[in-house]
Structure 1
């Protein structure tokens, strides 16, 4: 089952502000740089800022979580992490502002294996935990 990432207003402003900034730089700097540095520099800077726009949008639209029979697959843009469901120890609510696959301030630490963790933020955490528990032999500890 697929769960979309929760996206709050802070991250919407941050992401779309960054997209508009880099898009503006990609287009707006082309003409002034062209006259001063030449055509190659103009194309290079426009290409670099355009790539930033593509990566940011890729992260925004391709962040989601998939629960299969044996794994939790965490997608964030071009990256993918696979966690075996049976190795998940607990899910705990957190407000720590660490960089992660969470696009919301309401985040959850997902502890797995002996000492590994990742930070997630599915839209419906209760349904997420319910689906994960259906696939496991014993339920996960969920600390709200």
Structure 2
């Protein structure tokens, strides 16, 4: 089952304009500035991929629950977590700290000993219910 991420306007106002600006500026840099070839390759070679990455994260984030695996996909990256190894899912109290979630209302998945991952599916109750059906020892704390 695939779950879409919850997306906050704040994150959209950051990722979308920054991504578009980086792509636009990187593509137009050689035409605007009288720069040497190395500068053009470095600036264009850095800005355009970062811009694509930001847009890809916004449009390419999803959470997949298969028979025994949770796959978190964000842009070009994905992480697989065995559902049996998930111990708790709890509300993230510091949502602006390094997170792959696109919402301030995010949740921390703790799996294995001492490993965590931050998510923000649209429907957290349904998401947790399906995970708990597959492995009933998962503890969920909303507050």
| Fold match by TM threshold 0.5 | yes
Q: Deviations over 1:57-78 (max 9, x none)?
A: 1212221111111111111112
1:74 equivalent to 2:77? Answer no
Equivalent residue number for residue 42 of structure 1: 40
In structure 2, list runs of 5 or more residues that go unmatched: none
Runs of 4+ in 1 over 4 A off after TM superposition: none
Matching residue of 1:58: 56
Report the equivalent of 1:25.
Answer: 25
Larger Rg: 1
TM-score (norm 2): 0.88
8 Å CA contact 2:88, 2:140 repeated in 1: yes
Matched residues in 2 for 1:79 and 1:124: separation? 22
Structure 1: state its 5+ residue gaps.
Answer: none
Could you report, residue by residue, the CA deviation over 1:17-39 in whole angstroms, capped at 9, with x for unpaired residues? 21132133213422232x2x235
SS at match of 1:29: helix
Instruction: Give yes or no for the alignment of 1:94 onto 2:74.
Output: no
* Aligned counterpart, 2:110: 111
TM-score (norm 1): 0.88
**Alpha-carbon separation, structure 2, partners of 1:53 and 1:85:** 33
Q: CA deviation at 1:13?
A: 0.4
RMSD after superposition: 1.7
Equivalences, count: 141
Shift of 1:11: 0.3
